[in-house]
Amino acid sequence: MKMSKIFLIAVFLHTPFFASSDPEDLPIRGIHFGAPHSRDLPLCLQFIREALPKEGVNTLVLEFNYNFQYKEHPELANRGALSEAEVKEILAACREANVELIPQINCLGHQSWAERNGRLLSVYPEFDETPGKYPDNKDIYCRSYCPLHPEVHKVMFSLIDELADACEAKSFHVGMDEVFIIADEDCPRCQGKDPAKLFAYEIRLLHEHLAESNRTLWMWGDRFLNGKVTGIGKWEASINDTEAAIDMVPKDIVICDWHYERAEPTLPYFALKGFSAVYCPWRKSEVALEQLNLVQSVRTNAHPETAQRARGMLQTTWCGMAPFVRAYYGEGNPNNKAANESVDCFKTLFVRIRNSNQSMK
- In a domain? residue 262: yes
d(CA 322, CA 319) in angstroms, rounded, equals: 8
Burial classification of residue 333, based on how many CB atoms lie within 10 Å of its CB (0-12 exposed, 13-18 middle, 19 or more buried) = exposed
- In a domain? residue 196: no
- In a domain? residue 188: no
Q: Residue 33: phi, psi to the nearest 5? A: -135, 160
Average pLDDT over every residue of 291-312: 97
- In a domain? residue 268: yes
Residue 359 — pLDDT band, cuts 50, 70, 90?
low
Q: How many degrees, rounded to 5, is the angle at CA 268 between CA 265 and CA 274?
A: 150
d(CA 199, CA 224) in angstroms, rounded, equals: 10
- In a domain? residue 153: yes
* pLDDT-above-70 percentage for the chain: 92
Dihedral angle computed from the Cα positions of residues 222, 108, 171 and 197, in that order, rounded to the nearest 10 degrees: 70
- Determine the pLDDT at residue 25: 84
Helix (H, G, I), strand (E, B) or coil at 216: strand
Burial pattern 336-348, b for ≥16 Cβ within 10 A else e, equals bebbbbbbbbbeb
Average pLDDT over every residue of 16-35: 71
Q: Residue 219: phi, psi to the nearest 5? A: -160, 160
Average pLDDT over every residue of 261-267: 97
Residue 16 — pLDDT band, cuts 50, 70, 90?
very low
d(CA 31, CA 282) in angstroms, rounded, equals: 10
What is the span of the domain harbouring residue 218? 3-8+31-181+208-352
- In a domain? residue 103: yes
pLDDT (tens digit per residue) in 197-253: 999 999 999 999 999 999 999 999 999 999 999 999 999 999 999 999 999 999 999
- In a domain? residue 18: no
Number of domains in the chain: 1
The count of residues in the chain is 361
d(CA 238, CA 241) in angstroms, rounded, equals: 7
- Determine the pLDDT at residue 14: 45
Average pLDDT, the chain: 93
d(CA 166, CA 154) in angstroms, rounded, equals: 18
What CATH number should be reported for the domain holding residue 100? 3.20.20.80
pLDDT (tens digit per residue) in 187-209: 999 999 999 999 999 999 999 99
Nearest CA-CA partner of 287 in 349, 350, 351, 219: 349
pLDDT (tens digit per residue) in 325-353: 999 999 989 999 999 999 999 999 999 99
Average pLDDT over every residue of 12-31: 60
DSSP code for 68:
B
* pLDDT-above-90 percentage for the chain: 91
pLDDT surpassing 50 at residue 151? yes
Q: Residue 301: phi, psi to the nearest 5? A: -100, -25
pTM, two decimals, is: 0.93
Residue 10 — pLDDT band, cuts 50, 70, 90?
very low
Residue 356 — pLDDT band, cuts 50, 70, 90?
confident
* Cβ(67)–Cβ(84) below 8 Å: no
Helix (H, G, I), strand (E, B) or coil at 253: strand
- Determine the pLDDT at residue 357: 66
- In a domain? residue 359: no
**Pairing outcome for strands 171-175 and 100-107:** parallel
